[in-house]
Structure 1
């Protein structure tokens, strides 16, 4: 599934960084820095798909030539600690073709140039990972606006503070909207969301979409960064890698918990009041997920916390009224309609709405309670079956991704660290190799189970069960008809002749 990733960074001369070097590295170019006399040659770098420059329409021609643009940009800065360039890194959907991704990168770069009037070098990179999903673009921008006379004033609104936060938010929203527009134009139904996971969960809860709100409860993994990634590739232990492994295990437990809980008596799962959005947290792959059940990433509580707080919240919980049960069933029907628009739920929806009006008008009756109870149970069962199908596909995508990562680590270790040439002692080399083999075996077992649950035959059985539940739900009698039938039965019982009472015989004396 397409993911959202946008990061904004700066290059500072005070840190020994150079705009010329940054442009050469990201564009796979040979550029000369005349100020220092250095040549930066990255023409042999792999992974660079395309590099192009954009500038305002009245900018000089040299603004479109990287070898001239960044030399002039460096010369425009006088301070020894000056910020010489800004970088916006964006993910590009792997569902698009190379040409479509290039058009998307151009549209985003064009929007930035139009707003801030600076010059931009866009460098599109293809994935370096085996999964082939990490398409992205580096947008290297000048820190000054550019016009007919060359570089002018600084883009101070991007420097930080309240103004900087507003601009960053605009960039994130623009990237999400532009990407979704290109995905839609390509005939794809996947979308991305620039909001933090906690904000998405709150929004889903506010609009009554509890299916989405509950699904947005997976804890995101943490961004490793260059140092942790380098340690991981070398096989060294890393705290962040260990934490991410623990988070992955917790997420798997949480998915299983959601599947089990979906069909049980509904209880409110407490959502965290405030959850940080960890940089680099990415959702699981959800190819084939039913429309309306997009789980774009999750943030929230670990399984033990959910169970503990749920127990505390329900110790003195008041009974749920019939009116609340009907309202919840109607919200469940909304979730079902969004996920499976092909299922007919008009009759049961009309029945629940009629029961809602009848409760407000005349209050509870025994037949009405009986009908509502049966309807709520069947609606909940249908919703749980749809959610269970979605989670099967989510689990399969996640298991495939983790297996590919484990397989890559196993192959990389064997190729990069042959026995006797790695610098490790024999026991340490054996331990590191066995650890990767054990991880690969574990991921292989998980993948086999996920493939079994997500196979075409298993999903077909679930689909058949969903259709059966939907047909049974629509076949239910209307509440008015059900109540009339129960009243007729009760009237028939009360009008029959009374049963003759037999008097006991007196004891017989022998």
Structure 2
């Protein structure tokens, strides 16, 4: 079953992170950090099946060297709380083969990141455990046309209606920070999320697969279910060994609640189908009345066959008997259908009453479960 997962986070110096260490870990390489003199060696990793760096047109060629790229980032970002890189984690469709996944990922990255001015350091991890995924590290600072690093933001002075600078009580000119790109905007992230669903679904269709993914939440799709948490390789490995995890426990509870919702929705669907049958029965009543009129017309017809020849009279009588039989069969079918529908309606009404009683009992506990799950989810967010 194809799943949708795309999450983002910022690799920030204020959280003790290093872009060099992050890239070395994800790429399975040995990288030297000039800033602190540390060597990060992850060459023993065996699950890196693909890695590539994508660059925008105006970026210099040295960005294709992983160690130099992230050392340049560490050097240009001076602040102790600098945002060094944006990481995007994506679950890749297990329905595609390795070549198809790489082709899908490359198209998505070129169209959404490198062509928009970002350098993308991309790897795919696959332990052959049913969880192929990609880590994409993106630069946060654009490049100028001359290949030099550009500014993340610029200062814009706040002017009055005459175009003059305005000043604070302390005599300082008022200004605001204007970001030079839209990469940090919520709308941009939503666009990336939507685009991944579009690109992945096109790849699935091209591979003649019927599975599809959707970037929207259950709530946005009008589905009354709770979304499970993305477990990731570490949690999956622990759960596989029989070690219970907090995320695993949350997902199990969510799955239990979703099963209850499925049962109720199926019963509602059945009830609606029975209502449709009842509507069809109403239509059939009208058809039955028309059948009676047809039979009366046939009887009138038989009264006027006296003037016909023997062969013609036999043919008319034969056809008349056929019409009468069809009418009788139709009435019998109508009676059987009405009786079956009556039984169905009785069962549905009984089941509906049972569900209403069950729903009243479970409604408050379900609300508490949803509230608790949301609290836990908020606590797990990075």
Could you tell me which runs of 5 or more consecutive residues in structure 2 were left unpaired when the two chains were aligned.
154-178, 300-382
| Pairing 1:174–2:195 present | yes
- Output the CA distance in 1 between the equivalents of 2:234 and 2:208: 39
| Change in 2 beyond 3 A, CA 1:371/1:485 | farther
Counterpart contact for 1:86–1:140, Cα < 8 Å: yes
Aligned to 1:151: 149
Helix, strand or coil: the match of 1:95? coil
Counterpart contact for 1:119–1:146, Cα < 8 Å: no
Could you tell me which runs of 5 or more consecutive residues in structure 1 were left unpaired when the two chains were aligned.
202-215, 268-324, 330-369, 376-476, 494-510
Aligned to 1:485: 291
Aligned to 1:92: 92
- Output the CA distance in 1 between the equivalents of 2:197 and 2:28: 27
Q: Deviations over 1:225-265 (max 9, x none)?
A: 89977986786665544333222223334434444554335
Aligned to 1:119: 119
| Pairing 1:222–2:229 present | yes
What CA RMSD, in Å, does the superposition of the two structures yield over aligned residues? 3.3
| Change in 2 beyond 3 A, CA 1:481/1:224 | closer
| Change in 2 beyond 3 A, CA 1:45/1:257 | same
- Output the CA distance in 2 between the equivalents of 1:178 and 1:265: 36
Using the size of structure 2 for normalisation, the TM-score is 0.62
Aligned to 1:247: 254
Aligned to 1:372: 280
Counterpart contact for 2:56–2:115, Cα < 8 Å: no
Aligned to 2:134: 137
Counterpart contact for 2:218–2:225, Cα < 8 Å: no
Helix, strand or coil: the match of 2:124? strand
Superposed, 1:51-66 pairs within 5 Å as 51-66=51-66
- Output the CA distance in 1 between the equivalents of 2:98 and 2:88: 20
Deviation at 1:66, TM superposition (A): 0.6
- Output the CA distance in 2 between the equivalents of 1:19 and 1:119: 13
Helix, strand or coil: the match of 1:21? helix
- Output the CA distance in 2 between the equivalents of 1:218 and 1:193: 15
Question: Max radius of gyration: which structure?
Answer: 2
| Change in 2 beyond 3 A, CA 1:486/1:113 | same
Deviation at 1:124, TM superposition (A): 0.8
Aligned to 2:27: 27
| Change in 2 beyond 3 A, CA 1:83/1:237 | same
Superposed, 1:311-390 pairs within 5 Å as 372-373=280-281
| Change in 2 beyond 3 A, CA 1:70/1:166 | same
Aligned to 2:211: 190
Q: Number of matched residues?
A: 272
Counterpart contact for 1:371–1:482, Cα < 8 Å: no
Deviation at 1:180, TM superposition (A): 1.5
- Output the CA distance in 2 between the equivalents of 1:193 and 1:126: 23
Superposed, 1:28-47 pairs within 5 Å as 28-47=28-47
Using the size of structure 1 for normalisation, the TM-score is 0.48
Q: Deviations over 1:407-434 (max 9, x none)?
A: xxxxxxxxxxxxxxxxxxxxxxxxxxxx
Aligned to 1:312: none
From 261, 266, 271, the counterpart of 1:264: 271
